[in-house]
Amino acid sequence: MSYILAAGALVLTLLAPIILKKQIKKDGLKPFLKVLSIVLFVVFIFRFFSYVSNLNFKTLNVKSFSDRLTGFGKDWYKGLFAFLVEWLSVVAVLLIVIRPYFKNAHLDLITLILSAVYTVIALFSIQYGSFTFPSKLASYSYAIETGLLIGAAALNYYDYFTQKERKAIKGRKAWLNFALSMALCLIVALPVFTLDFFVGDLKMDASLAKNLNLIHRIIVYGAIIMPIVMYFALRNKPEDVRRIVLIYFSLAQMIIFCYYESFDQFVERPTSWPIHLCHMAMYLVPICLVFRAKKLFYFTYFINVFGALIAMLMPNYTSTSVISATVICYWVNHYTAFFMPLLLVALKLYDRPTKAQFKSSIFGFCFYFVFALVLNVILRAHGVQSDYFYIVGDHVVSTLGKWAENIYNIKLAFTIAGREYLLRPVYQVLFFIVYLGFGLLMWFIYEIFFQIADAHFDLLSRKKKIRQDKIALQAALNGRSIEEPMNKNAGVKLELKNFTKKYPSSNVFAVKDASFEVRGGEIFGFLGPNGAGKSTIIKSIVGIHPITGGSIEVCGYDCEKQPVQAKRLIGYVPDHYALYEKLTGRQYVNYIADIYGVSVEDRQQRIENHIKMFELEGAIDNPIKTYSHGMKQKITIMAALVHNPKIWILDEPLTGLDPNSIHQVKECMKKHAEEGNIVFFSSHIIDVVERICDRITIIRKGKIMAVKTLEEIERECTLEEFYLKTINAPYDQPEEKKEDGQATTKAQGGEAV
């Protein structure tokens, strides 16, 4: 009968695409494979939980596997085939279930190869009678599963070889990654009884993995090292690859954790129910990954991780051997519950949690705690010694000492229908509060690690962008040196072309399509109200902020593609300076000169000239921390000019300076422009701008409203009047049609750019 069911399932699987020919022709085989994968997984789970592992381990449990080969003659292979089928069936089912939902060359080939290997091994194991089944239902369910699995493998082969666009694996590195991926697929799904099967005589005392001794510490260190290794292996992979790997890993760990569970045990032994938080995590993590269940994930993240860590530090199992299946199950369970939620956030498959999500997780934990407590009390009243979450038993208390036992012994008992229901209210309330407190503390610890991960991701993205920019730059330069400007005819010029900037945390553009240019010899004023986008543009020019759209050129160098070359030509005075205040003024300026590679002769001459100009003779060799605000501002200016930049950019340079210092800075700006350089500065002091600037631009709400010379403005009104008219003009300007049909936009009081 089993053979008939297996053959029937196989034939039905292969005939289904023929029966659904019209639908398959319209949508392709993938939708059918998705449905088939769900059916296969349901049948597999039913078979898996219908009976405890069926292998003949009791008859093969001798001193070593080599003894099995010699001591059992021709019967040794029955156990080996059974082991391989039990192992490979999990691998093949998971790969066939996952493959239709993703488009990945490695996944395709691994699925085809390992499902073929499983098919061959399964046929041999059936031929040689490697299995014993406790019931006909178990035998029949296995037969149906085998037929479906072999049929699904055949259809996956057909789907793969009929694809119009099939990605090939090219290069030695790609094939090495493929081989490593296939090996990891096999290793991750190894049954928990593997060590027992091959080295059953190696009885390592289970207490060696307790009490923070050497083996225990090594195991705990493994829980920290493994996710770090996985993170670095997956950090720069595409999101679908990260999701494939983690779905496969979590499902495989769930299945091998459940090897000795069955429906009968769930009915007969309530203590096997997956109500312990860590046990529950084995089911919750795959559900969160497959169904993208956010609320469930954040509950797992906040509540399970800390519980798993405590369980690893205070392991609770009764097995006598550290390599036994029950001990392996214990560590598989708590490893997964501990690092998988953290890894999912670190790899950005889930966002970092917010306070609102923490609050909802706490609410969920309250519900779980009350449920587990009530269930424990009821089951114990009926003679079942359950201890879900360790809130009624003395496991935690026994590790804490006498004071905890005194709290634990405070009881509240009541009798209903002849059964005694026992609560330990003080202990259980304190347990709840302390657990929540440590959960909150762990959240802050997680945040530190996630900040490190964020910085690492940012570094990777920047490195990737640098590589892409380098390739684009080499193409744009068309064989010219990278030290040459993109626009070799630009001369001394600062140019913004449709520059756009939007911050990741905002839905509004900070600057939108800003365009203007500044030529050598000009002092260019940059005006606008607070929050208009002045500092955003300045920080993007000097390379502090990345560019969202458009481009910025400094003397022909593209600031995005040639950042180092562009920065060499810029001197920057920020609105909030940050100096190394333990250095003297001279030491600090020399330090900046070293960065720019200024020769000793040039720097000494420039430093001495600026010392005289700014009247710093008596202070230049004193520590900067002794300087006034004005003196610090002058040191910042000296540092910005020590390499004689072609473009000198100042962001609110005159704020807080006395009249004499303002005069000195203005004279320095004029002198720098007279030498053919650009002086570009933002300011709120209209009078200063009016006296020294050649041209100005006005920005409002991220939009350039006007670019005009002072002469053009003064023909109509004062700069102050023009500025006020421009920033108060209607934001959406009407279009006026010219005679030639072209449309232009005019800002009130000035010409719009």
pLDDT tens for each residue of 355-364: 888 888 888 9
Q: Which CATH architecture describes the domain 509-734+742-751?
A: 3-Layer(aba) Sandwich (3.40)
Q: Helices 30-50 and 76-98: crossing angle, nearest 10°?
A: 140
> How far, in Å, CA of 634 to CA of 617, rounded?
12
The pLDDT value recorded for residue 739 is 37
pLDDT in tens, 247-258: 999 999 999 998
Residue type, 256: I
**Residue 55: is its pLDDT beyond 60?**
no
User: Which of the residue ranges 301-305, 497-501, 504-508 has the most confident prediction, judged by mean pLDDT?
Assistant: 497-501
pLDDT digits (tens, 9 = 90+) for 610-658: 999 999 999 999 999 999 988 999 999 999 999 999 999 998 888 778 8
Residue 742 has pLDDT above 50, yes or no: no
Of the listed ranges 55-64, 123-132, 712-721, the one predicted with least confidence: 55-64
Percent of the chain surpassing pLDDT 90: 44
Q: Which helix (H) or strand (E) is 37 found in, with range?
A: helix 30-50
Give me the residue spans of the domains in the chain.
1-173, 203-479, 509-734+742-751
pLDDT tens-digit map of 83-136: 888 899 999 999 999 999 999 999 999 999 999 999 988 887 766 655 666 677
What pLDDT was estimated at residue 733?
Answer: 44
**Residue among 398, 384, 361, 381 nearest 277 (CA):** 361
Dihedral (Cα; 632, 633, 634, 639), 10-degree rounding: 90
Residue 329, pLDDT above cutoff 60: yes
Q: Which residues contact 586 (CB under 8 A, 6 or more apart)?
A: 607, 620, 621
Which of the two residues, 748 and 538, has the higher pLDDT score? 538
Helix (H) or strand (E) holding 498: strand 493-501
The answer to whether the beta carbons of residues 663 and 613 sit under 8 Å apart is no
Least confident of 98-107, 233-242, 312-321, 568-577: 312-321
Give the side-chain half-sphere CA count within 13 A for 239: 5
724 exposure class (CB count in 10 Å sphere: 0-12, 13-18, 19+)? middle
Q: What is the mean pLDDT of residues 264-275?
A: 83
Predicted pLDDT at 122: 83
Minimum mean pLDDT among 175-189, 223-237, 487-501, 727-741: which range?
A: 727-741
Which pLDDT score is estimated for 76? Answer: 63
Give pLDDT, residue 95.
96
Residue 64 pLDDT > 50, yes or no?
Answer: no
Burial per residue of 106-145, b for 16 or more beta-carbon CB atoms within 10 angstroms, e otherwise: bbbbbbbebbbebbebbeebbeeebbebeeeebbbbbbbb
DSSP state of 304: I
CA distance linking residue 262 with residue 717, whole number of Å? 89
Whether 738 shows a pLDDT value over 60: the answer reads: no
**Phi, psi values for residue 666, rounded to 5°:** -60, -45
CA distance 666 to 658: 12
Higher pLDDT, 404 or 135: 404
SS3 content of the chain, % helix, strand, coil (to 5): 60, 10, 30
Q: What is the DSSP letter of 614?
A: T
Q: Which of 73, 182, 55, 197 is nearest to 131 (CA)?
A: 55
200 vs 644, which has greater pLDDT?
Answer: 644
487 versus 130: the higher-pLDDT residue is 487
Query: Tell me, what's the pLDDT at 264?
Result: 79
- Token pair, residue 82, equals 């059974």
* Crossing angle for the helix pair 425-477 and 325-346, to the nearest 10 degrees: 50
pLDDT bucket at 340, cuts 50 / 70 / 90: very high
For the segment 395-420, the average pLDDT, to the nearest whole number, is 89
Residue 197 has a pLDDT of 73
pLDDT mean over 295-320: 85
* Contact present, 388 and 278 (Cβ < 8 Å): no
The CA distance from 524 to 689, in Å, is 9
Contacts of 715 (CB under 8 A, 6+ apart): none
How far apart are the C-alpha atoms of 553 and 562, rounded to whole Å? 9
3-state secondary structure of 163: coil
SS3 541: helix
**pLDDT given for residue 75 in this prediction:** 60
pLDDT band per the 50, 70, 90 thresholds, residue 263: confident
CA distance 104 to 168: 10
Mean residue pLDDT across the chain: 85
Query: Which helix (H) or strand (E) segment is 264 a member of?
Result: helix 263-268
% of the chain exceeding 70 in pLDDT: 91
The answer, yes or no, to whether residue 52 has pLDDT greater than 60, is no
Residue 593 pLDDT > 50, yes or no?
A: yes
Tell me the average pLDDT across 664-672: 91
Q: What is the pLDDT of residues 682-708, one digit of tens each?
A: 988 888 888 899 999 999 988 999 999
pTM of this prediction?
0.67
Tell me, what's the pLDDT at 325? Answer: 82
Residue 605: CB atoms within 10 Å: 11
pLDDT at 154: 93
Three-state secondary-structure class, residue 240: helix
Which burial class, exposed, middle or buried, applies to 323 when counting CB atoms under 10 A from its CB (0-12, 13-18, 19+)? buried
| Predicted pLDDT at 203 | 63
Distance CA 484, CA 731 (A): 41
Structure-model confidence comparison of residues 148 and 307, the more confident one = 148
Confidence of residue 552 (pLDDT cuts 50, 70, 90): very high
Predicted confidence at residue 127, as pLDDT, reads 64
Residue range 652-676: average pLDDT? 88
* Residue 54 confidence (pLDDT) above 80: no
pLDDT score for 140: 84
Contact by Cβ (8 Å): 682, 652: yes
Beta strands 570-573 and 647-651 are parallel
The dihedral through the CA atoms of 649, 654, 655, 656 has a sign that is positive
